Structure 1
């Protein structure tokens, strides 16, 4: 039944309809995989609402594409006058305390009480803003996520963290606030632009590198996953629900939930899922968010792989396969404006401070395996510079190749 966690023992249990998680601290939640989430014939979302008042929040693009279907669903399934839909600004610059306060003010004006539900329909940024607002509103109310992006479905949508950027720092303020429900409809991925698909694939590559060599090899065989055309649906339609894509997305969701489960509230600050998330916060913020989150994560993973090679923690083939896969997907592996020794040293020190005076830099040791570099002194300045130089030369070589072909 909707709203109940079905897992009977600690850990993650998968079934055709999704995943149940029960953490050692007793926290339990479910992530559903469903088709036609906004079809009036699908009762799932309405069952999770269970007669409560709803304030729904969507980004402008999602509202343009799915807003009519969302309103039709709510009209059909919920009591008249019990719901409202509101558009909020998206993008990293709007992932702020101001946006959280605006969501709370909108919910209050809509008459949302302590038994009400905030509904976030969108990607990771909408989920983060609305989830954080729900954690504070009336000291905490329920919220539901309908994840419309690939990042949302494999990353933000399966965890319990919410947060916003502040004090020139990514995700400086936030809370651990499990969603009452997290709904993933693979068909929602069909309308995503290619750049957002690639950003989601960056998070999937992350999980493959640290935990699952077979997933990595699948991505090598299908670097165009979620971007391929589906002839039966017409030119330009994407394959969001093919067998390969289903395997990739469900494996990524399961791996993320299994990795999060024993350490859901991050009492242990050494986390394998932080691969790609040591240098990337500075790459994002110092670059004025010119690179999207997934793109910054890709650059971080390429740099971390080269550091692993130079430190003798992995071999040249593993490093090359990781960086090559990112390139084949269409992700950047170097950013000249931010990949400077000064900024990347700053990123290391910021991570060291944030992680309790331990670096906990995640580096690949083999495909599907990773280790931690825990001390700042374990990464000498000349090693960091050499890794950056290697990526700069690679980027320059790629530019020369493009000019030659052109």
Structure 2
């Protein structure tokens, strides 16, 4: 009797999402609250019976380190787990950090049945995930995503990587997490800048495929932040925004999980953005670079006749209203932005695949460098500089 394979696609339920790709890859992203309280068995159930080497960054260690250790002490046998603090941030997202993680795991005697556990933001999860993908040719890893960027982006995909050779994420591997857990209660301790960066990744998904999510952000720009006036967020709105962004990302990833097709809508905001980040020496954070890239790509779409001026203005204005930048004078130069286009063209198999919106909730590709007329990039940058100088956005109206 043959056993049929589970259907491919993404399935949502009350506690998270399950993804089954056509290549047989399957994994789950789970939602919970108060993960490290004694009464929550979710993480224990994933780790039980295995040796665990856990890694946290300095901020997570300061805010939650003792709670994490208390939880592991109560839930796992003595001697079966360790916790290490590693430095995070883009400057430490290097192969040297991966080697240190591997060395710590080896010193703890981690075997091939064990688990590397990451509790932190996107950089930490990328580091630990890459280390797990290469340690003993691959061991399980679990990630508890503590930032908004981590929960809507890194936490739902299978890519891991480090910066190298002057480029972001130049070295890496596809390595699905054994467990990926999102707990929105971690977001309460995030600084406002990190919330803004996460909102940048959420705007990305709203623009390319989810108009309802876009309109929700317009109506509730203070989502995930303390309410301020009638536009303040609410728990119900935050739950909707988080789940909608996660589900949209999973649906986009599922048919092309390992990127055999290099034309990907989820690369919206990720053509100019990496160059802006590296050229600024990471003064511009990831979510901020994504916002600038989205604004620039939207201006290009407008100038190419692919996006109406009204929708272009709405995208730019929403980014500004969320507190995100749409221009950076030091890096948004014609020379650097052209270098970004050329670099993307080389990485993507001599095709540009620049993602540009065609409306709120839809997008397409500009596939070749020749599709960008001379001067259009300069004109788009001038328009963005003017929008940045204007500062405050116009009052946005829900469509």
TM-score by length of 1: 0.93
Shift of 1:67: 0.6
Of 102, 122, 125, 1:124 maps to 122
SS at 1:381 equivalent: coil
Name the CA distance, whole Å, in 2 between partners of 1:111 and 1:58: 19
Question: What are the residue-to-residue correspondences of 1:33-44 with 2, within 5 Å?
Answer: 33-44=31-42
Unaligned runs of 5+ in 2: 395-399
Residue in structure 2 matched with residue 249 of structure 1 by the alignment: 242
Residue in structure 1 matched with residue 397 of structure 2 by the alignment: none
Shift of 1:16: 0.3
Of 381, 387, 396, 1:388 maps to 381
| Larger mean Cα displacement after TM superposition, 196-205 or 379-388 | 379-388
Name the CA distance, whole Å, in 1 between partners of 2:150 and 2:374: 36
Residue in structure 1 matched with residue 145 of structure 2 by the alignment: 147
Residue 209 (structure 2) pairs with residue 211 (structure 1):
yes
Name the CA distance, whole Å, in 2 between partners of 1:385 and 1:36: 49
Residue 315 (structure 2) pairs with residue 322 (structure 1):
yes
Residue in structure 2 matched with residue 269 of structure 1 by the alignment: 262
Residue in structure 1 matched with residue 88 of structure 2 by the alignment: 90
Unaligned runs of 5+ in 1: 1-6, 232-237, 402-406
SS at 1:338 equivalent: coil
TM-score by length of 2: 0.95
Residue in structure 1 matched with residue 101 of structure 2 by the alignment: 103
Shift of 1:395: 2.0
Q: CA, structure 1 residues 251+360, in 2 after alignment: closer, same or farther (shift >3 Å)?
A: same
Residue 272 (structure 2) pairs with residue 279 (structure 1):
yes
Residue in structure 2 matched with residue 225 of structure 1 by the alignment: 223
Q: CA, structure 1 residues 121+230, in 2 after alignment: closer, same or farther (shift >3 Å)?
A: farther
Residue in structure 2 matched with residue 377 of structure 1 by the alignment: 370
Equivalenced residues, count = 387
SS at 1:68 equivalent: helix
Name the CA distance, whole Å, in 1 between partners of 2:192 and 2:225: 7
> Does the aligned pair in 1 maintain the 2:320–2:391 contact within 8 Å?
no
Of 21, 24, 38, 1:23 maps to 21
Shift of 1:230: 9.6
> Does the aligned pair in 1 maintain the 2:54–2:84 contact within 8 Å?
yes
Residue in structure 1 matched with residue 342 of structure 2 by the alignment: 349
Residue 283 (structure 2) pairs with residue 290 (structure 1):
yes
Name the CA distance, whole Å, in 2 between partners of 1:230 and 1:28: 41
Residue in structure 2 matched with residue 69 of structure 1 by the alignment: 67
Residue 180 (structure 2) pairs with residue 182 (structure 1):
yes
Name the CA distance, whole Å, in 2 between partners of 1:352 and 1:249: 32
Residue in structure 2 matched with residue 234 of structure 1 by the alignment: none
Runs of 4+ in 1 over 3 A off after TM superposition: none
Shift of 1:8: 3.2
